[in-house]
């Protein structure tokens, strides 16, 4: 079920939280000994009417504490005079922590606090409490969730914590990625504090944040097959003719288009009573803006076609809300392609229930937004920050859609830009990645992104190093050096990295590939006696193997022997892809289809 946040929390969550994440004060004192030599005096206390999420958090805390210490931590609603770990709001928590200001917390915020012999892990909402438990396990007890199937839980004879007074809240209220691994593992997503619509929705994991849609749906709402023959004026005027081509759009100054779109969205909302956000955005096309006189006059009034779009979305939002007076419906529209450039600040702003999501697909992902290479995109972000303060989201691209396995060294860009987004009022980020299949270093990328989404002030390379050492063990030093090697090459001023680069991308120079292969040879040797870690290293190496192999593909006029030799290596690589669960080689292209095409190409 879709868990709907209270309206007041929605308003709060739209405003980016400026005091990022952790503010910790360690008070004087000896701290708490939670367990020693397999025994504990502590119980985990929840309220008698605790939600499914709080019960889940308490149960997981109990299980992990048992694995760490060997002690049994009972979950109860009756403290019975024993030292306690309080999970979530309850009367018992208020008695033990009478000055804990839970209601001062923003959505998903929490406290980790000690008082006397007691410990509080609590938020003012379910996800806040869940994240309090997971943050405590990770930051205080050393638990790590590197991938859905790879959890590290330390073992300690004595479990001791210092006195704590810690308050945390997310930098971004909306944190999401459609990486394949995240779409299919809700518990891992919760561990990483991802909360968006790509995450499977489970009530015991706190539900999800629905303040995002990302639809490119003009033609879905006003289908040309239904309307164009009789009403071509509903569609863009391109070079003197009305067009219903895939690269065209709707005429947003036509009142009948406004009426049809409103009716379609009202019907959709009525059919889905729990729906919170409706998407309303142009088709996925580079342009298509109508060249009609009224459309051009509207664009000129706002300084960009995005102003005409925003004016249309604002009108639709008002009209839909008028027909659904008992609902708080939000509308999400994209600043993408021809609407990426913002309107002139002061000419228009989003309505109170309208969100704008900037999707800078054309930026250089090897360099941060504030670099000279991304001057246009940076100018757009800064402009939208003025036009839509508190209502601005970002659609981030984190893979090569033409070659899922190809290395995509955007670590510097991610580390710098997430902080830049936060500093300029972005309230949420959606990271579009390899949504069809396992891709290049997906576990690491998801883990690092999730940590930055919670607190973008963290150092990205510190996170990369921590993951490398934890996930790959003794091979971690080599995987880290490999990632640094690629990043150093991609960060050169004259190198550009797009979201659809070919295998001949300049940052993958021959000498770089040679060094990368050498590092992977060392990495595999370092873990050759550990099958699990060797498997992880071999999976990571698929990216370099892919580029090396495809660059050696024979030409059509090659000899039969040359083609046969290549296909033998190619078939072994395809088998490796299947062994590691790689289903798609690029966006919407299965490995089987790609492999068949290569065989066909070399059969002539």
pLDDT tens for 231-254 read 999 999 999 999 999 999 999 999
> Which of 144, 201, 193, 157 shows the shortest CA–CA distance to 172?
193
Residue 165 sits at φ, ψ, to 5 deg, of -145, 90
Q: What pLDDT is attached to residue 338? A: 96
Looking at 132, 151, 169, the residue that finishes a domain is 169
Check residue 185 and report its DSSP letter: -
| Position 474 in a domain | no
Q: What pLDDT is attached to residue 30? A: 76
Residue 561 sits at φ, ψ, to 5 deg, of -65, -40
Looking at 169, 194, 215, the residue that finishes a domain is 169
| Position 540 in a domain | no
| Position 97 in a domain | yes
| Position 137 in a domain | yes
> Which of 30, 33, 47 shows the shortest CA–CA distance to 93?
47
| Position 258 in a domain | no
Q: What pLDDT is attached to residue 81? A: 83
| Position 345 in a domain | no
Q: What pLDDT is attached to residue 156? A: 97
CATH code where residue 66 lies: 3.30.379.10
Check residue 202 and report its DSSP letter: -
Report angle CA 39, 45, 48 to the nearest 5 degrees.
Answer: 145
| Position 70 in a domain | yes
Residue 344, C-beta contacts closer than 8 angstroms, at least 6 positions apart: 302, 303, 304, 307
Looking at 139, 169, 199, the residue that finishes a domain is 169
Are the C-beta atoms of residues 313 and 354 closer than 8 Å to each other? yes
- Count of the separate structural domains present in the chain: 2
| Position 161 in a domain | yes
When computed from its CA atoms, the radius of gyration of the chain, rounded to whole angstroms, is 26
Give the torsion through C-alpha atoms of 151, 156, 162, 167, to 10 deg. 10
Ranges under pLDDT 50 in the chain = 1-28
> Which of 268, 272, 286, 166 shows the shortest CA–CA distance to 216?
286
Q: What pLDDT is attached to residue 29? A: 59
**What does the alpha-carbon distance between residue 177 and residue 434 come to, in Å, rounded to a whole number?**
9
Residue 126's domain comprises 22-169
């Amino acid at each position: 079920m879709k868990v709907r946040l209270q309206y007041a929390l929605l308003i709060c969550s739209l405003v980016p939280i400026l005091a990022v994440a952790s503010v910790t004060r360690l008070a004087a004192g000896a701290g708490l000994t939670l367990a020693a030599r397999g025994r504990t005096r502590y119980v985990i206390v929840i309220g008698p009417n605790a939600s499914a999420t709080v019960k889940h958090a308490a149960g997981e805390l109990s299980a992990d504490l048992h694995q760490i210490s060997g002690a049994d931590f009972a979950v109860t609603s009756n403290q019975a005079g024993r030292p306690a770990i309080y999970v979530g709001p309850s009367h018992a928590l208020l008695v033990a922590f009478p000055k804990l200001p839970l209601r001062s917390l923003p959505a998903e915020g929490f406290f980790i606090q000690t008082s006397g012999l007691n410990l509080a892990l609590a938020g003012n909402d379910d996800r806040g409490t869940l994240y309090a438990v997971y943050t405590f396990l990770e930051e205080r007890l050393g638990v790590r969730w590197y991938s859905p199937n790879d959890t590290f839980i330390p073992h300690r004879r004595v479990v001791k914590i210092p006195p704590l007074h810690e308050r945390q809240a997310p930098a971004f209220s909306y944190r999401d990625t459609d990486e394949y691994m995240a779409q299919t593992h809700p518990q891992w997503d919760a561990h990483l504090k991802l909360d968006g619509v790509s995450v499977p929705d489970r009530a015991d994991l706190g539900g999800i944040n629905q303040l995002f849609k990302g639809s490119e749906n003009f033609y879905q709402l006003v289908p040309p097959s239904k309307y164009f023959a009789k009403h071509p004026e509903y569609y863009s005027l391109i070079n003197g003719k009305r067009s219903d081509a895939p690269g065209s759009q709707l005429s947003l100054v036509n009142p009948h288009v406004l009426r049809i779109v409103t009716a379609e969205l009202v019907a959709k909302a009525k059919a889905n009573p729990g729906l919170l956000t409706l998407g309303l955005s142009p088709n996925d096309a580079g342009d298509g803006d109508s060249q009609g006189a009224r459309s051009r006059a509207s664009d000129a009034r706002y300084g960009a076609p995005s102003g005409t779009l925003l004016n249309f979305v604002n009108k639709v939002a008002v009209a839909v809300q008028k027909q659904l007076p008992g609902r708080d419906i939000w509308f999400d529209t994209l600043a993408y392609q021809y609407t990426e450039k913002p309107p002139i600040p002061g000419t228009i702003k989003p309505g109170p229930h309208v969100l704008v999501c900037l999707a800078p697909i054309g930026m250089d992902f090897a360099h941060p937004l504030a670099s000279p290479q991304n001057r246009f995109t940076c100018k757009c972000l800064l402009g939208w920050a003025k036009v839509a303060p508190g209502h601005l989201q970002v659609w981030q691209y984190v893979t090569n859609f033409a070659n899922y396995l190809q290395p995509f060294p955007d670590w510097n860009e991610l580390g710098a830009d997430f902080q830049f987004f936060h500093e300029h009022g972005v309230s949420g980020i959606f990271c579009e990645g390899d949504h069809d299949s396992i891709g290049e270093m997906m576990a690491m990328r998801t883990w690092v992104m999730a940590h930055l989404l919670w607190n973008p002030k963290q150092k990205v390379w510190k996170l990369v190093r921590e993951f490398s050492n934890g996930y790959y063990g003794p091979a971690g030093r080599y995987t880290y050096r490999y990632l640094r090697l690629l990043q150093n090459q991609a960060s050169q001023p004259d190198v550009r990295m797009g979201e659809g680069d070919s295998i001949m991308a300049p940052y993958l120079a021959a000498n770089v590939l040679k060094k990368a292969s050498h590092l992977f040879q060392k990495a595999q040797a370092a873990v050759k006696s550990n099958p699990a870690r060797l498997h992880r290293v071999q999976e990571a190496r698929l990216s370099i193997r892919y580029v090396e192999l495809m660059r050696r593909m024979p030409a059509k006029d090659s000899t039969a022997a040359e083609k046969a030799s290549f296909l033998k290596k190619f078939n072994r690589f395809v088998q490796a892809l299947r062994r590691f669960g790689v289903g798609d080689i690029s966006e919407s292209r299965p490995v089987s289809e790609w492999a068949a095409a290569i065989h066909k190409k070399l059969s002539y």
